[in-house]
């Protein structure tokens, strides 16, 4: 599946597997694979037979026992990049039926799926780094690959101790996002789900390069791309319009980070990402100090807009070089932040925005808070060390056999910083590094962080009218303030004024419409916390408003995203006196500036279609708003109807 090119000096073995172990039984499940004389390659998968013996926890599995955990066909290939140079290979596996179709089956207690990985853990001689990182991520409430240890026999030859783990893919038990169908080419359906990763490019991959080089704002002297690879939908299934949409979304995200306003409540990157997931992604990668973090195997996904729609960083992946293993990039040091790595020219650099986001005071503050929440639970040193001791005990017999088959203890394997003379010395180094890393992070994440609880106030209980001020107690928005000195209400545009007077906020809309504001909380002059978005609906001559009674409809434009024109449809019902009303359909940019007037006239009841041509407008997010003012129903009640929808112009 992955191609590689290697310039490293390593200890190599004969390419042919010569078994030094005659496996008869194990306390771990036994996986038996038979390729029926075929050679396993790096793409395409070959069809083979696989059986698994698993008599349950605490039971002995004998090689003569029947295959009771799986017995059927598989597709198998060699996987990995730099790991392909090692004699003990890693394998990608797809479970198949007799006709060659993929089938979902539960393996070793993990949820049913078709795609799996046999991780060789060749460089990580402890076999602990990946399983520990994934365990911690799962305990943080973030999906990471589930794992199970097993011993593997390939074509009647013992090949060692392996970690069976889930492959990252869209699934209700893995990355749980909406399925993107072939016909999902517009509207909400087009907005998700997607899985991307920043990684090396392999033949056959579909990907796009960022419009910004990794060293932005510098101009590189050689190509320095940030490459986003389509994981889901994959290269065989993703449509051009779907590629264009997610590329546009990522470009907007990166553009927001390229500007001086990157940390503005509305103009910055905050509305593009899932903040809590981003903080957890930083925290687990920094605790493990993964040398590949943020530049390789950097997964992210996006669900539909109706399901949240923000960019979620994760799941974490490929942590065999973490926890002080690697001998380059200062990875062996238990100090310093990995996210502070300076981007460099060429390929495989972290993006220009990694350190920019990481050093945003809002992120640093949330990291400190999250660390304080988890350092005595998920990251509790005693619990981690106890877990490692239990795993070491569980795999003891199997790892002894593994190192008889692969006698590499005490022998340097790229890119080890520390080479123990015994397995126990390798484990002691790992444990010591974890303790030092914990202590360094605990000393460098401020326990005296700032915090505030934002209340979910129902603003529809207040009547907002143009040029009229509404006074609301600040305590209606906030609670439990810690280490903060001031609050500031910030509106999304010039049509809304917000100011604090004593213990109240004064909110004044300057026109009819739906407007947004956020609250920023500062400690001295530094922004530490940003509230969710609050919205108000400002209407005119309001005696009665009930859009369900008036039954107006404003439909989603089609196509969306669009370039350069799109169609907007709306309906005017027969429940009001049209001589007393006026219909307006306007288009606004993301700052609330009116950029187009599509309708401004009286309308008879009926269905209407309007074409909007944005040939002179730049790419971006726009809003179209239907406003019916001076509205009078046949029973004499008056009011204003307003509805707004979002559309995306994508060049």
Tens-place pLDDT, residues 126-160: 999 999 999 999 999 999 999 999 999 999 999 99
pLDDT value, residue 637: 54
- The β-bridge partners of 50 are 33, 72
Closest alpha carbon to 147 in 329, 3, 319: 319
pLDDT value, residue 551: 65
Kindly report, residue by residue over 176-204, the tens digit of the pLDDT.
999 999 999 998 999 999 999 999 999 99
DSSP secondary structure string, 176-204?
------TT--SHHHHT--EEEEE----TT
Residue 461: partners with Cβ closer than 8 Å, 6 or more residues away: none
CATH topology classification for 458-538: Immunoglobulin-like (2.60.40)
Q: Tokens for 443, please give them.
A: 């000393």
pLDDT value, residue 10: 41
Q: Residue 630 above 70 pLDDT?
A: no
Q: Give the separation between CA 461 and CA 340, rounded to whole angstroms.
A: 46
Domain range annotation of the chain: 25-167+380-409, 187-377, 458-538, 547-649
Q: Tokens for 320, please give them.
A: 């065999």
Can you tell me the mean pLDDT for 508-530? 93
For the entire predicted model, the pTM comes to 0.86
Q: How confident is the model at residue 17 (pLDDT cuts 50, 70, 90)?
A: low
Q: Residue 582 above 90 pLDDT?
A: no
Q: Helices 275-288 and 129-139: crossing angle, nearest 10°?
A: 150
Q: Residue 8 above 60 pLDDT?
A: no
Closest alpha carbon to 455 in 436, 476, 440, 433: 476
Q: Tell me the C-alpha to C-alpha distance, in Å, between residue 461 and each of 28, 457, 489, 498, 638.
A: 62, 9, 19, 18, 19
Can you tell me the mean pLDDT for 297-302? 98
DSSP secondary structure string, 394-444?
HTHHHHHHHHHHS--TTS--TTBS---SSHHHHHHHHHHHHHHHHHHHHHH
| Residue 561: DSSP 8-state | S
pLDDT value, residue 629: 66
pLDDT value, residue 215: 95
Lowest mean pLDDT segment, chosen from 15-19, 43-47, 342-346: 15-19
The more confidently predicted of residues 16 and 92 is: 92
R_g of the chain, CA atoms, integer Å: 29
Q: Give the number of other CB atoms < 10 A from CB of residue 579.
A: 8
Give the E-state strand segments of 35-192 in sequence order: 46-53, 61-62, 70-79, 90-96, 105-107, 110-113, 115-119, 147-154, 157-166
pLDDT value, residue 76: 98
Q: How confident is the model at residue 558 (pLDDT cuts 50, 70, 90)?
A: confident
Q: Tokens for 180, please give them.
A: 């993107």
pLDDT value, residue 213: 96
* pLDDT above 70 as % of the chain: 92
Q: Give the number of other CB atoms < 10 A from CB of residue 255.
A: 16
Q: Of all helices (H) and strands (E), which one includes residue 82?
A: none
pLDDT value, residue 272: 96
- CATH architecture of residue range(s) 547-649: Sandwich (2.60)
Q: Tell me the C-alpha to C-alpha distance, in Å, between residue 341 and each of 225, 344, 357.
A: 16, 9, 12
Q: Give the separation between CA 571 and CA 593, rounded to whole angstroms.
A: 25
pLDDT value, residue 546: 39
pLDDT value, residue 14: 39
Can you tell me the mean pLDDT for 341-354? 94
Can you tell me the mean pLDDT for 154-182? 97
Closest alpha carbon to 331 in 340, 344, 339, 321: 321
Closest alpha carbon to 189 in 237, 249, 231, 242: 242
Average pLDDT, the chain: 91
Do 54 and 68 touch, CB atoms closer than 8 A?
Answer: yes
pLDDT value, residue 82: 79
Q: Give the separation between CA 262 and CA 360, rounded to whole angstroms.
A: 9
DSSP secondary structure string, 203-222?
TT--EEE-SS-TTTTS--SS
DSSP secondary structure string, 270-327?
GGGB-HHHHHHHHHHHHHHT-TTTTTSSEEEEE--GGGT--EEE------TTTTTTBS
Do 67 and 53 touch, CB atoms closer than 8 A?
Answer: yes
Q: What is the DSSP pairing of strand 504-509 with strand 470-473? A: antiparallel
Residue 25: partners with Cβ closer than 8 Å, 6 or more residues away: 60, 61, 62, 63
Q: Residue 549 above 60 pLDDT?
A: no
pLDDT value, residue 562: 87
Backbone angles phi, psi at 74, to 5 degrees: -140, 160
Q: How confident is the model at residue 72 (pLDDT cuts 50, 70, 90)?
A: very high
pLDDT value, residue 574: 64
Q: Residue 550 above 60 pLDDT?
A: no
Q: Tell me the C-alpha to C-alpha distance, in Å, between residue 267 and each of 255, 328, 495.
A: 10, 38, 16
User: Residue 620: how many CA atoms within 13 Å on its side-chain side?
Assistant: 17
The more confidently predicted of residues 14 and 60 is: 60
Q: Give the separation between CA 140 and CA 58, rounded to whole angstroms.
A: 28
Q: How confident is the model at residue 480 (pLDDT cuts 50, 70, 90)?
A: very high
Q: Residue 98 above 80 pLDDT?
A: yes
pLDDT value, residue 161: 98
Torsion-angle region of residue 160: left (phi > 0), alpha (psi -120 to 50) or beta?
left
The more confidently predicted of residues 92 and 513 is: 92
pLDDT value, residue 638: 56
Can you tell me the mean pLDDT for 595-610? 86
Can you tell me the mean pLDDT for 468-480? 96
pLDDT value, residue 102: 97
Q: Give the number of other CB atoms < 10 A from CB of residue 591.
A: 13
pLDDT value, residue 634: 52
Q: Which residues of 511-522 are buried (b: 16+ CB within 10 A; e: fewer)?
A: ebbbbbbbbbbb
Q: Give the separation between CA 575 and CA 565, rounded to whole angstroms.
A: 32
pLDDT value, residue 74: 98
Q: Residue 542 above 50 pLDDT?
A: no
Kindly report, residue by residue over 351-407, the tens digit of the pLDDT.
999 999 999 999 999 999 999 999 999 999 999 999 999 999 999 999 999 999 999
Distance from the Cα of residue 521 to its chain's centroid: 26
| Residue 83: DSSP 8-state | G
Lowest mean pLDDT segment, chosen from 165-174, 317-326, 523-532, 558-567: 558-567
Q: Of all helices (H) and strands (E), which one includes residue 257?
A: helix 240-258
pLDDT value, residue 137: 98
Token pair 């069976």 is found at: 164
Do 464 and 539 touch, CB atoms closer than 8 A?
Answer: yes
């Amino acid at each position: 599946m992955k191609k590689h090119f290697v310039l490293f000096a390593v200890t190599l073995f004969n390419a042919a597997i010569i078994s030094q172990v005659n496996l008869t039984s194990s306390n771990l499940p036994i996986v038996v694979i038979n390729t029926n004389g075929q050679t396993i390659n790096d793409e395409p998968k070959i069809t083979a037979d696989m059986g698994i013996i698993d008599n349950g926890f605490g039971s002995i599995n004998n090689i003569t026992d029947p295959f009771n955990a799986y017995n059927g066909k598989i597709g198998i290939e060699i996987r990995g990049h730099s790991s392909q140079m090692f004699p003990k290979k890693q394998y990608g596996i797809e479970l198949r039926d007799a006709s060659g179709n993929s089938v979902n089956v539960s393996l070793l207690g993990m949820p049913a799926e078709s795609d799996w990985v046999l991780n060789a853990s060749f460089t990580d001689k402890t076999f602990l780094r990946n399983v520990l990182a994934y365990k911690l991520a799962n305990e943080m409430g973030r999906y990471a690959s589930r794992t199970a240890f097993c011993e593997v026999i390939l074509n009647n030859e013992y090949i060692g101790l392996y970690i069976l783990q889930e492959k990252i893919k869209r699934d209700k038990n893995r990355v749980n996002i909406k399925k993107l169908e072939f016909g999902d080419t517009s509207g909400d359906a087009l907005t998700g789900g997607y899985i991307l990763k920043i990684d090396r490019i392999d033949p056959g991959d579909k990907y796009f390069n960022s419009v910004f080089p990794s060293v932005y704002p510098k101009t590189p002297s050689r190509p320095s791309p940030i490459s986003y690879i389509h994981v889901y939908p994959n290269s065989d299934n993703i449509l051009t319009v779907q590629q264009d949409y997610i590329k546009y979304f990522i470009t907007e995200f990166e553009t927001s980070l390229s500007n001086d306003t990157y940390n503005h409540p509305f103009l910055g990157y905050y509305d593009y990402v899932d903040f809590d997931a981003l903080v957890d992604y930083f925290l687990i990668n920094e605790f493990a100090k993964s040398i590949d973090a943020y530049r390789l195997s950097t997964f992210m996904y996006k669900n539909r807009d109706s399901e949240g729609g923000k960019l979620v960083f994760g799941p974490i992946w490929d942590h065999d070089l973490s926890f002080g293993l690697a001998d380059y990039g200062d990875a062996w040091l238990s100090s310093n932040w990995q996210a502070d790595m300076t981007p460099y020219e060429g390929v495989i650099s972290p993006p220009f925005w990694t350190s920019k986001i990481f050093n945003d005071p809002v992120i640093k503050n949330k990291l400190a808070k999250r660390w304080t929440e988890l350092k005595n639970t998920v990251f509790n040193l005693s619990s981690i060390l106890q877990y490692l001791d239990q795993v070491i005990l569980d795999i003891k017999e199997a790892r002894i056999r593994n190192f008889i088959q692969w006698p590499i203890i005490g022998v340097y394997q790229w890119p080890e910083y520390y080479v123990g003379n015994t397995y126990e010395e390798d484990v002691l180094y790992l444990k010591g590094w974890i303790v030092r890393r914990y202590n360094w992070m605990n000393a460098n994440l401020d326990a005296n962080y700032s915090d505030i609880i934002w209340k979910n106030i129902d603003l529809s209980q207040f009547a907002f009218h143009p040029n009229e001020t509404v006074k609301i107690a600040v305590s209606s928005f906030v609670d439990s303030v810690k280490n903060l000195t001031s609050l500031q209400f910030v509106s999304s545009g010039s049509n809304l004024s917000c100011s604090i007077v004593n213990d109240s906020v004064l909110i004044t809309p300057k026109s009819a419409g739906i407007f947004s504001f956020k609250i920023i909380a500062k400690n001295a002059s530094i922004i530490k916390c940003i509230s969710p978005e609050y919205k108000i609906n400002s209407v005119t001559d309001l005696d009665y408003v009930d859009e369900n009674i008036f039954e107006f409809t404003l439909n989603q434009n089609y196509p969306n995203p669009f370039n350069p024109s799109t169609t907007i449809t709306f309906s005017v019902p027969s429940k009001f006196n049209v001589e007393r009303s006026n219909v307006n359909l306007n288009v606004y940019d993301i700052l609330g500036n009116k950029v187009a007037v599509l309708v401004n006239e009286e309308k008879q009841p009926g269905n209407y279609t309007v074409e909007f041509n944005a040939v002179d407008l730049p790419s971006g997010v726009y809003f179209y708003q239907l406003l019916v003012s001076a509205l009078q129903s046949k029973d004499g009640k008056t009011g204003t109807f307003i509805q707004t929808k979002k559309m995306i112009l994508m060049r």
